[in-house]
Amino acid sequence: TLLEALKILAENSRFDWHISFVGLSESPDYMAAVNMKIDELGIREKIAFIGPSDDVTTFLESASVGVLS
């Protein structure tokens, strides 16, 4: 998964990076599972949940890498 790949990146990268998730999940259960996985992997400090945005383009333009789902 993306989160597991981020764990590998956190363990092996010399770069200071972070990831922002823009958008909203309709499922509280899904978000609870995502947050539990983030904590399990120990990558909480690298992740920000932005929430819904009408201006996703701005986030993508400022990113070095973008992942759409």
Give tens-digit pLDDT for 1-41.
Answer: 899 999 999 999 888 889 999 988 889 999 999 999 999 99
Distance from C-alpha of 14 to C-alpha of 19, rounded to nearest angstrom:
16
pLDDT of residue 63: 85
Q: Alpha helix (H) ranges present in 28-68? A: 28-41, 56-62
Mean of the pLDDT values across residues 50-57? 90
pLDDT of residue 10: 92
